[in-house]
């Protein structure tokens, strides 16, 4: 059923109304500060049922926002990981909520100690446009599992998806439980300045710095997922067909508009031509044509398309050789292009690309390739292609990145038992699975004593013989 693109009866929240919404959620949290397991499970089950029931509506809404998004890409890259993350949380939530016992030591006996995991309160989540469903629902699952109230700010660049998510989530959650906030950049600025108990932002490094500054005014802890230039390394002996096909899948999914897409590829000097041929064949096997191809996703809007075209022009003017893999695009369906003979003066090698351009950087040996990566800001993901296990370990131990996939791209983000998060310029903090539950919880240490109390043995006055004996026994 096609989605009505005029579905805009939910007016954007005005910046000055955000505080009232936050206050409403704080009051609701204060009335129920520690939701029991059964309540949290019910929230997650209701969310899962909603997503499964309304998936066609959401798929069509996202496609409208992109002018065309492959329905299968939305199923595989957004809906499926949402459902799996809910299932994973439901399976493990009882264990996550259980306080963990800790040792007190003889000095403090008789007593018990434990760590309890308490909801933080109200969590703010700022959602980007590239995966508007998964990057809203993924952190929402972690926040709800931890027992929090949640405010979601949807991107102004995905208005149809935003309005439908507001409508659908409003059917199962009251506004003081989960609230979807719509609006332009001024609303996003006001949203990031609210005194949340935790704020999660996914987006560019540039905007992430502004979000962190705004949050610092309230000492709001932040989780930042910021992307960056995620490299892929092709080893000297991996079959080029294997590497090219897997890199091409990671780069072409969502037309490269993925925070962990391979941003550039390091290839041995004597294998560059072979990689170009193998990559072209891989992309053409996925998309024999761009024209009217339902599997090929468009660039989100004219602004992003113009930005990508400027990257190509700048690279060409500075000496790069562009190899378009198709003769022409269609609308905002931009042809995938390899960029050779690049240098650090080109913007395509300075900025996160976030689109269907793939620079190819030649290298002479693996140490040189790793040094090239380590001279640059730490990326959100790193990909290595080679079957030599010793070299795999060298790459893992020598480079820094938010996550690593060996002989694969992207899929580590979908493993619910792995934390997801950046390092340095690519972000801070983690979520997904258990790490998400921990991020949105306060790990509160609790010491408990009953009637029998040994502490008076070290109370003043300190010149007593018993105090001196304890000092000699425990301070060595």
129 and 109 Cβ atoms separated by less than 8 Å: no
User: 157 or 15, which is more confident?
Assistant: 157
What was the pLDDT predicted at 418?
95
Determine contact, residues 423/445, Cβ cutoff 8 Å.
no
pLDDT band at 11 (very low <50, low <70, confident <90, very high): low
Q: Which residue has the higher pLDDT, 108 or 389?
A: 389
* pLDDT per residue as tens digits for the range 440-466: 999 999 999 999 988 888 889 988 988
Give the whole-angstrom CA distance, residue 369 versus residue 266: 7
Using one digit for the tens of pLDDT, what is the confidence trace for 373-428?
999 999 999 999 999 999 999 999 999 999 999 999 999 999 999 999 999 999 99
Q: How confident is the model at residue 476 (pLDDT cuts 50, 70, 90)?
A: confident
Does the pLDDT at position 363 exceed 50?
A: yes
Say yes or no to pLDDT of 235 above 70. Answer: yes
Between CA 55 and CA 63 the distance in angstroms is 12
CA distance 434 to 278: 39
Using the predicted structure, report yes or no on whether residue 318 has a pLDDT greater than 70: yes
Residue 327 — very low, low, confident or very high, per pLDDT cuts 50/70/90? Answer: confident
Give the pLDDT confidence of 37-64 residue by residue, as tens digits: 999 999 999 999 999 999 999 999 999 9
Closest by alpha carbon to 346, among 316, 302, 373, 384? 316
The least confident of 12-16, 94-98, 263-267, 347-351 is 12-16
What number of other Cβ atoms are within 10 A of residue 78's Cβ? 26
Distance CA 432, CA 439 (A): 9
pLDDT of residue 2: 47
Res 112: pLDDT: 93
Average pLDDT, the chain: 95
Q: Which residues of 357-391 are buried (b: 16+ CB within 10 A; e: fewer)?
A: bbbbbbbeebeebbeebeeeebbbbbbbbbeeeeb
Do residues 50 and 172 touch, judged by C-beta distance below 8 A? Answer: yes
In this prediction, residue 72 has a pLDDT band, given cuts at 50, 70 and 90, of: very high
Just list the catalytic residues.
225
pLDDT band at 4 (very low <50, low <70, confident <90, very high): low
Q: Residue 160's pLDDT is what?
A: 97
pLDDT of residue 8: 47
For 268-310, the pLDDT digits (tens) are 999 999 999 999 999 999 999 999 999 999 999 999 999 999 9
By CB neighbour count within 10 A (0-12 exposed, 13-18 middle, 19+ buried), where does 217 fall? exposed
pLDDT at res. 6: 47
Which whole number is the average pLDDT over 127-133?
A: 97
Write b or e for each residue in 438-447: b if 16 or more Cβ atoms lie within 10 A of its Cβ, otherwise e. bbbbeeeeee
Q: Is 449 left (phi over 0), alpha (psi -120 to 50) or beta?
A: beta
Domains, the chain: 15-226+427-443 (3.40.605.10), 231-415 (3.40.309.10)
Is residue 255 scored above 70 in pLDDT?
yes
Residue 329's pLDDT is what? 81
Residue 3 reports pLDDT greater than 70: no
Tokens of 72: 């299968």
pTM of the predicted model as reported, rounded to 2 decimal places: 0.94
Predicted confidence band of residue 105 (pLDDT cuts 50, 70, 90): confident
């Amino acid at each position: 059923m096609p989605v009505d693109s005029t579905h805009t009866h939910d007016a954007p929240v005005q910046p000055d109304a955000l505080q009232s919404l936050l206050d409403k959620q704080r009051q609701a949290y204060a009335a129920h500060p520690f939701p029991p397991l059964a309540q949290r499970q019910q929230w997650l089950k209701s969310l899962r049922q909603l997503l499964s029931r309304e998936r066609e509506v959401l798929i069509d809404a996202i496609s409208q926002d992109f002018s065309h998004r492959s329905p299968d890409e939305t199923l595989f890259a957004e809906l499926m990981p949402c459902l799996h993350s809910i299932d994973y949380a439901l399976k493990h939530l009882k264990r996550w909520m259980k306080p963990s016992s800790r040792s007190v030591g003889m000095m403090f006996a008789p007593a018990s100690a434990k760590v309890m995991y308490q909801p933080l309160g109200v969590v703010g989540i700022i959602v980007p446009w590239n995966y508007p469903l998964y990057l809203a629902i993924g952190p929402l699952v972690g926040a709800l599992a931890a027992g929090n109230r949640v405010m979601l700010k949807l991107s102004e660049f995905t208005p149809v998806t935003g309005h439908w998510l507001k409508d659908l989530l409003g059917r199962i959650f009251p506004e003081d439980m989960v609230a979807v906030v719509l609006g332009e950049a001024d609303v996003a600025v006001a949203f990031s300045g609210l005194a949340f108990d935790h704020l999660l932002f996914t987006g560019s490094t540039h905007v992430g710095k502004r979000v962190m500054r705004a949050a610092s005014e309230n000492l709001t802890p932040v989780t930042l997922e910021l992307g960056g230039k995620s490299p892929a390394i092709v080893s000297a002996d991996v079959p080029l067909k294997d590497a090219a096909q897997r890199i091409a899948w990671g780069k072409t999914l969502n037309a490269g508009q993925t925070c962990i897409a391979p941003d550039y590829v390091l290839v041995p000097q004597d294998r560059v031509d072979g990689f170009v041929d193998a990559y072209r064949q891989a992309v053409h096997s996925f998309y024999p044509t761009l024209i009217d191809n339902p599997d090929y996703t468009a660039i989100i809007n004219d602004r992003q398309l113009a930005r990508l075209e400027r990257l190509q022009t700048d690279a060409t003017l500075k000496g790069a050789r562009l190899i378009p893999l198709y003769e022409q695009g269609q609308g905002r369906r931009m042809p995938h292009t390899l960029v050779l003979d690049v240098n650090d003066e080109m913007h395509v090698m300075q900025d996160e690309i976030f689109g269907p351009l793939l620079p190819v950087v030649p290298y002479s040996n693996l140490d040189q390739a790793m040094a090239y990566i380590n001279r640059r800001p730490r990326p959100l993901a790193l990909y290595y292609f080679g079957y030599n296990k010793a070299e795999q370990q060298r790459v893992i131990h020598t480079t820094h990145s938010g996550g690593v996939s060996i002989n694969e791209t992207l899929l580590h983000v979908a493993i619910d038992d792995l934390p997801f998060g950046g390092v340095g310029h690519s972000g801070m903090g983690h979520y997904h699975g258990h790490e998400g539950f921990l991020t949105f919880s306060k790990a509160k240490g609790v010491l408990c004593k009953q009637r029998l109390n040994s502490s008076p043995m070290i109370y003043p006055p300190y010149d007593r013989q018993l105090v001196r004996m304890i000092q000699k026994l425990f301070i060595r």
